[in-house]
Amino acid sequence: MTEFKKNFIIIGIGPHAKRTYIRFFEKYELQPKIIIELFSNKDVVEKLILSKNWNSELFFIPDKCKDDLHLSDSIKKELEKLIFEKKITHVIIATEPKGHHMYLDFFIQKKIHILTDKPIIVFKNMLNIENIEKMKLNFYKLLNKQKKGCQCKVLCQRVNHKGYLYIKNLIKEIIVKYNIPITYISIYSCDGNWVMPHDLDYENHPYKYGYGKLFHSGFHFIDLLSEFLKLNNYASDLKKLATAEMFNSFVTPNDELGIISISDYKKIFASQKSSAFYSRNSGELSFNKYGEKDYFAQFKCRNKNGKIITMANLNILESGVSRRAWIKTKADRYKNNGRIRHESINIQIGPLLNIQVHSYQSKEVKDRTKYETAFGGIEHFDIDIYRNADLIGGKPYERITATDLYNFSDEKYFKGLNESAREDFIKNFFNNKNDLGELKQYKLSMEILYQSCMSSFENENGGKVNEKTFSLVF
């Protein structure tokens, strides 16, 4: 299976790369021409290529440069030579998010096809207004540098998820036919990933740098909301969205200490050995500059004449029901540390159509069995459709399940709905196929993220957080 072999680079061999990209390389018998990593991970990378029998060229970056805005001239010169020698056409950026920008900037200018992980750009201390502004400014700088015909894709797999593609096509059909826009959207996601106080200083999915849930899995749901809002562009001019008023709030690690204190942890896990971290009292801890754990937002979206067209809410939780029953963090602290995901969507198109998504897990990925599509299963994903059938036709009620959308027979390779969507996304990237996930399509997502960060900054600095009005940039 080598129909899309390319000369490519992968940057960063962390947990996500191992779980997503390396699994893909193994399945399709690919290997990177060049691997770029930090010097501190030299031994890890050398062991990896030895175990895979790869002959990849290794290129190491000094750790002191890992969060730089731009690559140094000397590093650029060395990389340019390697890129020419290896005839590189594609690059995958899988570093910790603070490292994304310097590679995006370099490879966009070299006209090399790029696939980067989300979030697109982030800096240390996103509670600092200068960094919030820098995030937005540099996003648009990258957009302006991108050359026509050169991909720059962001891996938000739900743009390629067959369930969400089905929903978007159905909504588009109704809007085009009846000129009734989306009037209500509710998105709820809970990762069920119990991040305890002693976990907050980890490098993988960090909170200590002043950013949290919104820049981890939360970005997927900001983007999902953006994708739905864009569908109203299929309505007539006065039903298209022009501006939005947004009110949002956060639960921080400091807030969470008020919910579950250090003494509560000691009591809950009394029979387990805990680290010295829990010898302290809650009052001795401060997470003032840490990123958010949970995020809640409401939107009033208006047309160009100021009339409300769409109401929306977005509830993105890190904290919620979990299967974690241990205080000592496991090696895979994201996927196999008690995490169970819940996801639900509710969309109204006035009196014509209601679409609901229900996707609820009750066990960890490692506990997968053969059949996992019922409520509580690893691959539970139901689409419930309610129609005003006497007006628009079709069934008054219809349920589309995961088995209607995906082929579960290939047990050797099928790893899940989101995983399958990621795989299709990566294949499309290597095949230079379609424009799903292109950088230019994230303007609205980045605007919502920017406005959310501004609210967080105001709240952190004692300001009164009012509704923020901003233009919807599609």
* Whole-number pLDDT of residue 325: 96
Q: How is residue 272 written in tokens? A: 């387990």
* Whole-number pLDDT of residue 176: 98
Backbone torsions φ then ψ of 90, nearest 5 degrees: -135, 150
CATH topology of domain 8-118: Rossmann fold (3.40.50)
Domain borders along the chain are 8-118, 161-413+439-471
CATH topology of domain 161-413+439-471: Dihydrodipicolinate Reductase; domain 2 (3.30.360)
Q: How is residue 308 written in tokens? A: 């409300």
* Whole-number pLDDT of residue 367: 82
Sheet containing 113-117: order of strands: 57-61, 34-38, 8-11, 90-93, 113-117, 152-155
CA atoms within 13 A on the CB side of 45: 23
d(CA 461, CA 457): 6
For the chain, list residues with pLDDT below 70: 1-3, 410-415, 458-467
Strand partners, 310: 301
DSSP 3-state of 11: strand
Q: How is residue 161 written in tokens? A: 């998820």
Q: How is residue 95 written in tokens? A: 């570093």
* Whole-number pLDDT of residue 195: 95
DSSP 3-state of 314: strand
* DSSP strand pairing (243-251 vs 34-38): unpaired
Integer angstrom CA distances of residue 341 from 227, 378, 381, 404, 418: 21, 9, 11, 21, 12
**What distance lies between CA 9 and its chain's CA centroid?**
22
125 contacts 210 by C-beta, under 8 angstroms: yes
* Whole-number pLDDT of residue 397: 98
Integer angstrom CA distances of residue 88 from 6, 49, 110, 432: 8, 19, 10, 14
* Whole-number pLDDT of residue 16: 87
d(CA 361, CA 363): 6
453 contacts 199 by C-beta, under 8 angstroms: no
* Whole-number pLDDT of residue 1: 45
pLDDT digits (tens, 9 = 90+) for 46-81: 999 999 999 999 999 999 999 999 999 999 999 999
DSSP 3-state of 215: helix
Burial class (CB in 10 A: 0-12, 13-18, 19+), 203: exposed
Residue appearing with tokens 């036919």 = 177
* Whole-number pLDDT of residue 155: 95
* Whole-number pLDDT of residue 354: 98
